[in-house]
Amino acid sequence: MEEETIKPLPDPARCDAFWAREDVDRPLLSCWVGSFTIAGHYPHGTASLPNAELEPDDIVFEQFRPDYESLFVSHAAIGADVPWAAFPLMTMPWVEAIIGCPIYHRDGNIWAAPWLDTYEALEKIELKADNPWFVRLLELTDWLVELSAGRFPVSMSLMRGPLDLLSALRGPQRMCLDLFDHPEELDEALQRLTNIWIDIARAQLARIPAFEGGYSSGMINLWSREPMAWFQDDALALWSPKYYRRHLRSCEEQLSRCMGVTGIHLHPVSLFVIKDLMAMPELDVIEVNCDDEGPTMSDMIPYLKRTLKEKNLVIWGAFTMADLRVIKEHLPSRGLALQVMAETPDEVRITVDRLRRMWHD
């Protein structure tokens, strides 16, 4: 007798209700087994990498098969509303590599090094079809589709955003000084990086098939009827609202309308942009991390309430029972999704079960 293939499915009715901002009995639920420390998600594959500067051929897909299968199995039995999705190595800074940053690996950690010493070299930043890192990213996307064999959705890689990419190219300190020393060149660089980001995202999504009539958004895991793209600019925590509006907002507006469904990832230190994001009509969803170092859920409630008035919202974190009580008391379920995180599948399942009971009591 053949072993039955595991295939967790989305709850299309709940997912559709989330996007339509309908009144529902509880928030939409997705899950994340592990922590925000992502180096440990691919132990088998990263063990095969040299402790040195990486080349595209160093990413041997088959070395990562046990990691992806383990991630699939660990999420499969939890029973969330949205199934786990595979996406090209979250630990790998793909776009940074494509735009020329040297990529280094040591003991499971992978990072990009800056190289843009002068904006006179800006014209070197371009996307060519034969770029070796771009080719490798698309090959890995194809490999994941084959690995899935219809068992789980595949989504685009973590791509960050134009400011994060500029921070990688220039280094955080010089990126900040550029606001005063090279503002026009900074704007040109951000626009160039925005265009490249959109082209890379569309190239990936063109290779990803639908899963049960819809598409996954990957790391911040949702399921929608249309392909979805996430972006983030964590480096904006180094800027003030004035400089965000002057130099970055227009680029994020372009990203917000580059796909049928778009979302942005934020940390609490960047919540000062909420008002600006709410004014972007094409931006569909905002995700906010409940970070381990704070602030508390109660501290974030005013920002989250404001977001839910006009936008869909995802909150991602290792929620305590106190967090869930605060969310239930202060936030409507309409347009709200919770991505539950814990170190083990059992811990995630316990939290998901508790959450369901809390909202139905």
Alpha helix segments (H runs only) across the chain: 12-20, 43-47, 65-76, 94-98, 132-148, 162-170, 172-181, 183-205, 241-243, 249-256, 274-278, 297-308, 321-330, 345-360
Query: What is the predicted pLDDT for the residue at 2?
Result: 40
Query: What is the predicted pLDDT for the residue at 283?
Result: 98
Indicate the pTM of the whole model.
0.96
- Helix, strand, or coil here: 327? helix
- Helix or strand run (H / E) with residue 139: helix 132-148
**Terminal-to-terminal C-alpha distance of the chain:** 43
Query: What is the predicted pLDDT for the residue at 294?
Result: 80
Q: Tokens for 137?
A: 């990213």
Name the amino acid, one letter, at 57: D
Q: Where are the beta strands (DSSP E) in 140-227?
A: 215-216, 223-224
Which region, left, alpha or beta, applies to residue 241 given φ > 0 means left and ψ of -120 to 50 means alpha?
Answer: alpha
Closest CA to 61 of 45, 73, 38: 45
Query: Distance (Å, rounded) from C-alpha 202 to C-alpha 349?
Result: 34
Name the amino acid, one letter, at 76: A
Inter-residue contact 352 to 340 (CB < 8 Å)? yes
Closest CA to 339 of 89, 32, 120: 32
Query: Distance (Å, rounded) from C-alpha 134 to C-alpha 140?
Result: 10
| Residue 335 neighbours by CB under 8 Å, 6+ apart | 18, 21, 308, 311, 312, 313
Write down the residue that tokens 């002057």 correspond to: 246
Query: Distance (Å, rounded) from C-alpha 361 to C-alpha 349?
Result: 18
Strand partners, 313: 286, 336
Model pLDDT for residues 9-55, shown as the tens digit of each residue: 999 999 999 999 999 999 999 999 987 777 788 999 999 999 999 99
Q: What is the pLDDT along the chain (361 residues), one digit of tens a residue?
A: 344 567 899 999 999 999 999 999 999 999 999 877 777 889 999 999 999 999 999 999 999 999 999 999 999 989 899 999 999 999 999 999 999 999 999 998 999 999 999 999 999 999 999 999 999 999 999 999 999 999 999 999 999 999 999 999 999 999 999 999 999 999 999 999 999 999 999 999 999 999 999 999 988 999 999 999 999 999 999 999 999 999 999 999 999 999 999 999 999 999 999 999 999 999 999 999 998 888 999 999 999 999 999 999 999 999 999 999 999 999 999 999 999 999 999 999 999 999 999 998 7
Closest CA to 147 of 261, 32, 45: 45
Could you write out the DSSP letters of every residue in 240-279? -HHHIIIIIHHHHHHHHTSSSEEEEEE-GGGGGGHHHHHT
Inter-residue contact 8 to 76 (CB < 8 Å)? yes
- Helix, strand, or coil here: 171? coil
Query: Distance (Å, rounded) from C-alpha 335 to C-alpha 337?
Result: 7
The burial of 51, by beta-carbon neighbours within 10 Å (0-12 exposed, 13-18 middle, 19 or more buried), is given as: exposed
Instruction: Return the domain boundaries, the chain.
Output: 12-360
Name the amino acid, one letter, at 33: V
Query: Distance (Å, rounded) from C-alpha 295 to C-alpha 279?
Result: 25
Q: What share of the chain is helix, strand, coil (3-state, %, to 5)?
A: 50, 15, 35
> The dihedral of CA 265, 319, 295, 291: what is its sign?
negative
Q: What are φ and ψ of residue 220, in 5° steps?
A: -90, 100
The fold of the 12-360 domain, in CATH, is TIM Barrel (3.20.20)
Q: What are φ and ψ of residue 150, in 5° steps?
A: 80, 0
Query: Distance (Å, rounded) from C-alpha 229 to C-alpha 225?
Result: 13
